[in-house]
């Protein structure tokens, strides 16, 4: 059940991430790479709160300590996602929106869930 709740939280965070990125690119003309990182910040904040309270029910532990651990995991996520986004978008010539979704799904399942479960919210 935790895995399904985690994926629901990731979906919500990813939607926020994607919407922020699209808004920045389409309305404000921000380069998609920078917009992706800013979107990641929005999504990460959302995911941390939902993960702490609902997914892993870890409110009995220090939020500051969890936030530091989450920041470490998130930093890795941002670096991996940024590099994969550039790779998929530029090398395979995929629209940045589709590339962002593809990267978010792959990295979210293979990287985020395990590290949040085993490291951040344990």
CA distances, 35 to each of 21, 25, 60 (Å): 5, 6, 34
Q: Which of 121, 107, 11, 108 is nearest to 55 (CA)?
A: 121
Helix (H) or strand (E) holding 110: none
Provide the whole-model pTM.
0.84
Q: In this predicted structure, what is the pLDDT of residue 7?
A: 84
Four-point Cα dihedral 88, 92, 93, 97, nearest 10:
-30
Query: Are 103 and 97 in contact, with CB atoms under 8 Å apart?
Result: no
- What residue has token string 């869930």? 113
Helix (H) or strand (E) holding 112: none
Query: Are 71 and 46 in contact, with CB atoms under 8 Å apart?
Result: no
Query: Are 31 and 85 in contact, with CB atoms under 8 Å apart?
Result: no
pLDDT in tens, the chain (122 residues): 888 998 899 889 989 999 999 999 999 999 999 999 999 999 999 999 998 999 988 899 888 999 999 899 989 999 999 999 999 999 999 999 999 999 988 988 888 888 888 888 87
Q: In this predicted structure, what is the pLDDT of residue 31?
A: 97
């Amino acid at each position: 059940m935790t895995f399904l709740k985690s994926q629901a939280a990731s979906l919500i965070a990813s939607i926020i991430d994607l919407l922020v990125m699209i808004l920045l690119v389409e309305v404000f003309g921000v380069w998609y790479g920078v917009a992706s990182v800013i979107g990641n910040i929005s999504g990460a904040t959302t995911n941390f709160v939902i993960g702490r309270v609902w997914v892993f029910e870890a409110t009995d532990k220090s939020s500051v300590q969890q936030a530091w651990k989450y920041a470490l995991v998130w930093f890795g996520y941002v670096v991996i996602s940024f590099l994969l986004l550039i790779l998929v978008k530029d090398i395979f010539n995929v629209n940045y929106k589709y590339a962002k979704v593809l990267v978010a799904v792959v990295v979210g399942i293979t990287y985020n869930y395990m590290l949040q479960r085993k490291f951040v919210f344990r």
